[in-house]
Structure 1
Amino acid sequence: MIQIKRNLIRSIEKRKKEGILISENVPIRLRINYHGNRVDLQTGYRIDIAKWNSDKEKVKNGAFNKRGQSSSDINSGISDLEIVIEDLFKSCEVEERIPTPQEIKTIVKNYKTKGVSGLQEKNEITLFEVFDLFVKINKKLNDWSEATISKLLTVKRHLHTFNPELKFSDMNQEGLADYLIFLRTEKLMRNSTIKKQLGFLKWFLRWSNENNHHQNEDYKIFKPKLKDAPKTIIFLTEEEKKKIIEVYIPESKQYLHRVRDILILLCYTGLRYSDIYNLKRSDIKENHIDTTTIKTCDNLIIEFNKYSKAVIQKYKDIPYENEKALPVISNQKMNDYIKELGELAEINTPTRQTYYVGNKRYNEDKPKYELLGTHVGRRTFICTALSIGIPVQVVMKWTGHSDYKSMKPYIDIADETKKSEMNKFNLL
């Protein structure tokens, strides 16, 4: 996912009449600067210059304009407009593209046409406005990551595509079933993906119900049966790790050296990509890493082994921005480059992925390198640790897992690995 730097500036338009600055009933403008572009938008609101706070970029408390709109109505209306624009940018970041100025103008025009910006009075808050509120409030309360926000904005986008006029009353048993079919037939989603989408939707419907935005509780009893295959855990075997460590990297692909180092560190610490990305020099101690995880806020102490220590030592004297300990690139690029590294190392064992779309089962065989990403490091660490006999409770202290249920798939893999290793005696 890319990050688009932008800033939104509210200001009063400076207009003159016969050489004299107009000071009453002046339009409020919203200017967006991003990626070398400047877009000026009319908010649809006006205010006297004397009633405008330039420092805070808002109408002064208690002020009214000529149409009788209060400062709270105007400031809130402009904030709503900014949320719509931010949603567009965040969606574009997920899609890894830069929105055009015309695209911004069009989405703002469509938003105004619906009468939710302040050009018309709002009679009732809509489902999509409540969704914006849901994201805005919980982002502040729970310090949501950009990844969580992006996932929720994707949910909102799917709902809007399904029905731009969607209401809470539409989310009954029939409506939810129609939405499920839409995700399957229009968005071509697998059952596993649909489960996640419905989980996010139910989360929003539960929150909005608890906060008295609707009384429709059909979501509580909507439990469709979606077939799903057991999740395949992709990890690197000892032989595959050796291949990656020893593979020759050509001069034209020198960037893969750092990618390999970070992958090795993931494989020998069990940390998530987000924790490696945010690792600070202050987290590095003499014999261990002492860090608080981004996802779960767990404090972890992970002792060094010779592989993890070697990577840390390699970069210890190289300065990076924000006191970061390592040269970690974006997750998307990292995933792409790990696949490239895996192909170079000939990690090409045919690997089967099984999934369901509706009741139809699909089997998809791919070379293993196509399935590699940053996630493979943590999974490799767990599988390796269990297979060499490290007690599961010790592994859980390193990884931050809180229950055995989440560790069971790894334990099953470790058991299978031990069986295959024992069979080697039969070849003697």
Structure 2
Amino acid sequence: MNIKRNIIFTLEKRRKAGVIVAENVPIRMRVIYNCKRVEFTTGYRIDAVKWDAAKQRVKFGCTNKLKQSASEINTDLLRYYTEIQNTFKEFEVRNTMPTPEQLKESFNRQHEDPEVAVEVPESVSFKPLDVFPEFIKECGMQNGWSDATYEKFAAVKSHLTKFDPDLSFESLDESRLTQYVQFLEEREGLRNTSILKQIAYLKWFLRWCGKKGYCMNNAYEDFNPKLKSTPKKVIFLTWEELSKLREYSIPATKQYLERVRDVFLFQCFTGLRYSDVFNLRRSDVKDTHIEVTTVKTADSLVIELNNYSRAILDKYKHVAFEGDKVLPVVSNQKMNDYLKELSKLAGIDEPVRETYYKGNERIDLVTPKCELMSTHAGRRTFICNALSLGIPAQVVMKWTGHSDYKAMKPYIDIADDIKANAMDKFNTL
């Protein structure tokens, strides 16, 4: 038997008159295993400013009120760590999962000095929703989550809460997970593709719980629901549609659409995401190219300018925007609304059929392309047209920041379909 556990040394959190105590704070050894948390006293205290939370040790050269040195305290903390590991190994050899009381008793036997035997003041059984905030906080900081990622996991937590607020790790077997899939479909009304994403996010969370020792049940690893799904439709403008939008004469009563069109066209000729166009500053624009560090992935990109992107920059070269921005970018929501309006006026209304599944039900939607337009269509338009012009995928990937061909495959497939109409280069038209 292999008992997953997480052993942490941390300061006890105490409040006095509503204020967190920061002086002479007890050092705890926290052991998390089998969905339980057991906290041990260590017999040592230290001021919070003298504690290195990252290393889980007293800072070098510090002493506590009893004049015990960092070296002395840290040596004993390491000894406690070794002893609790040995305690777990005893139970692993016996193929037994210890109760908190058994863990305490066995650990105290390991201890050399009975006068400092560690006691167990607290034992807590964990449930998924209990530790979800810790997961979001830790993984969000470590991975630099965007607001969108936080929102995705907030949705996961919301779904789990609605499904069963008292859900336990032990209950998450194949049958219970199947019930969760049915809940997402029937009660939450999610499409199959959305359900598969929710299960993937849930697995991410449960794997983290396993590493922490919160979850010993790994039935989720083999759970792969068979749900029919189709690839998401890639909405982009063909070169003809792009030219149609670019050359459309905007009515005098709707001149507010001109700036929206310029920003969108800049995306279509550079491949930038909305967030990167929004953050583009004059210092990012060079004579022959632009240099950006992307908001979403922090990639550093160099994107050469062509005649179309340069003309848009020149148009606003002498216009001062707040924050020394290059282009007049409005909010994403407003821009999406205006793009739909502009596309409709320009006659970009080719019917687009989207197919998706809810359970075993196939649903086909036919929608005019103008109603599906959004800022991200600009980036997709750039990729599809660049590939159809015969520009190598690896070159396009350097401009867009894509790291592998998997993300590019949908665009490559589209480019293969329209290669018969490919042109030599953007600037040779």
Quick check: TM above 0.5?
yes
Q: Which residue of 1 aligns with 2:312?
A: 311
For each residue in 1:231-274, what CA deviation from the matched residue of structure 2 results, as whole angstroms up to 9, or x when unmatched? 32211012211222222334443332221111101100011222
SS of 1:169's partner is coil
- Which amino acid in structure 1 is aligned with residue 302 of structure 2? I
Distance 1:310 1:211 in 2: 55
Other-structure match for 2:231: 230
Could you say if the C-alpha distance between residues 421 and 63 of structure 1 is closer, same or farther in structure 2, counting changes exceeding 3 Å? closer
1:129 deviates by 3.0
| Match in the other structure for 1:325 | 326
Q: Which residue of 1 aligns with 2:288?
A: 287
Uncovered stretches (5+) of structure 2, i.e. residues with no partner: 1-13, 27-121, 424-429
Q: Any stretches of 5+ residues in structure 1 without a counterpart?
A: 1-44, 53-57, 65-120, 423-428
* Alpha-carbon distance, 1:277 to partner: 2.0
Deviation of residue 397 (structure 1)? Answer: 1.5
Note the aligned Cα RMSD (angstroms): 2.5
Amino acid at match of 2:332: N
Which residue matches 1:190?
Answer: 191
> Would you say the 8 A contact 2:15–2:21 is kept in 1?
no
Deviations 1:383-402 (A, max 9, x none): 11111221222112111222
Go from structure 1 to structure 2 and tell me whether the alpha carbon gap of 1:63 and 1:385 turns closer, same or farther (over 3 Å shift).
closer
Aligned to 1:159: 160
Distance in 2 (CA, whole Å) between partners of 1:315 and 1:122 is 64
Which stretch of the first structure deviates more once superposed, 356-365 or 166-175? Answer: 166-175
1:374 equivalent in structure 2: 375
Pairing 1:229-268 to 2, within 5 Å after superposition? 229-268=230-269
Q: Aligned with 1:213: secondary structure?
A: coil
Equivalent-residue separation in structure 2 for 1:163 and 1:178 (angstroms): 11
Deviation string 1:113-136 (CA, Å, 9 cap, x unpaired) is xxxxxxxx9944442231111111
Name the CA distance, whole Å, in 1 between partners of 2:314 and 2:296: 26
Whole-angstrom distance in 2 between the partners of 1:396 and 1:157: 36
Aligned to 1:178: 179
Q: Give the Cα separation in 2 of the matches to 1:402 and 1:167.
A: 38
Assess, with a 3 A threshold, how the Cα gap between structure 1 residues 419 and 307 changes in structure 2: closer, same or farther. Answer: closer
Cα distance in structure 2, aligned partners of 1:212 and 1:315: 57
Q: 1:82 corresponds to which residue?
A: none
Q: Which residue of 1 aligns with 2:8?
A: none
Q: Distance in 2 between matches of 1:239 and 1:421?
A: 11
- Identify the residue that residue 150 of structure 2 maps to in structure 1: 149
* Rg larger in structure: 2
1:418 is matched with: 419
Query: SS at the partner of 2:235?
Result: coil
Taking structure 1 as reference, are residues 62 and 257 closer, same or farther at Cα in structure 2, changes over 3 Å only?
A: farther
Paired letter, 2:242: K
Identity %: 52
Paired residue for 2:386?
A: 385
CA pair 421-135 structure 1, distance change in 2 beyond 3 A: closer
Alpha-carbon separation, structure 1, partners of 2:294 and 2:261: 22
Equivalent-residue separation in structure 2 for 1:411 and 1:405 (angstroms): 10
Equivalence map 1:28-427=2 (5 Å): 47-48=16-17, 52=19, 58=20, 60-61=22-23, 123-419=124-420
Query: Counterpart of 1:378 in structure 2: which amino acid?
Result: R
Q: Structure 2 CA distance, aligned partners of 1:128 and 1:259?
A: 43
Measure, in 1, the Cα distance between the counterparts of 2:324 and 2:309.
19
Distance 1:61 1:374 in 2: 53
**Which position in structure 2 is the counterpart of 1:21?**
none
For 2:345 and 2:388, locate their aligned partners in 1 and report how far apart those are by CA, in whole Å: 27
Alignment correspondent of 2:4: none
Letter of the structure 2 residue corresponding to residue 187 of structure 1: E
Write the letter of the residue equivalent to 2:403: S
Q: Contact 2:192–2:228 at 8 Å: present in 1 too?
A: yes
Q: Which amino acid aligns with 1:167?
A: S
Distance 1:381 1:297 in 2: 20
Which structure is richer in relative contact order (CA contacts within 8 A, separation 6 or more)? Answer: 2
Residue 166 to residue 337, structure 1, CA distance change in 2 (3 Å): farther
Paired residue secondary structure (2:269): helix
Contact 2:135 2:205 in 1 (8 A): yes
- Write the distance in 2 (CA, Å) between the matches of 1:300 and 1:326: 18
Structure 1 residues 253 and 169 mapped into 2: Cα distance closer, same or farther (>3 Å)? farther
TM-score, normalised to structure 2, is 0.68
TM-fit CA distance, 1:184: 0.7
Flag the 1:165–1:332 CA change in 2: closer, same or farther, 3 A. Answer: farther
User: 1 CA distance for matches of 2:343 and 2:149?
Assistant: 28
Structure 1 letter corresponding to 2:409: K
User: Could you say if the C-alpha distance between residues 127 and 306 of structure 1 is closer, same or farther in structure 2, counting changes exceeding 3 Å?
Assistant: same
Q: What SS is found at the alignment partner of 1:407?
A: helix
Aligned to 2:88: none
Which letter does structure 2 place at the counterpart of 1:206? R
